[in-house]
Amino acid sequence: MPTYEYKCQKCGHAFSEFQRIVDPPIKDCPECKRKDCVEQIISGGSGLIFKGSGFYETDYKRKSSGGGGNPSGSGSTKSSDTKKD
């Protein structure tokens, strides 16, 4: 669920609200209690933040390109060049 930012046009109160996408936008100011004076602010959003003990720094690191474990089979060893009859 996204967090939407709002600002009251009358009193200038700015706030954010955690809402579902299908929820209607807020129109009434919670600070000054006026009706139909709140406007939704378009923001750039925020990045994805992983919190908790289930995420590790090594989970998303790239594997080194030289060495075994290359799933594509394009390693540095050439078995056809080393085979002699």
pLDDT of res. 42: 81
Write down the pTM of the prediction.
Answer: 0.49
Residue 28 · residue 36 · CB < 8 Å? yes
Question: Using one digit for the tens of pLDDT, what is the confidence trace for 17-28?
Answer: 889 989 999 999
Burial of 54 (0-12, 13-18, 19+ CB in 10 A): exposed
For 44, counting Cβ atoms within 10 Å of its Cβ (0-12 exposed, 13-18 middle, 19+ buried), the class is exposed
Contact between residue 66 and residue 76 where contact means Cβ atoms under 8 Å apart: yes
Please state, in angstroms and rounded to a whole number, the distance separating the CA atoms of residues 56 and 47: 18
Residues 37-53, mean pLDDT to the nearest whole number = 76
Q: What is the pLDDT of residues 55-85, one digit of tens each?
A: 666 666 666 655 555 455 454 555 555 555 5
pLDDT tens-digit profile of 26-43? 999 999 999 999 999 887
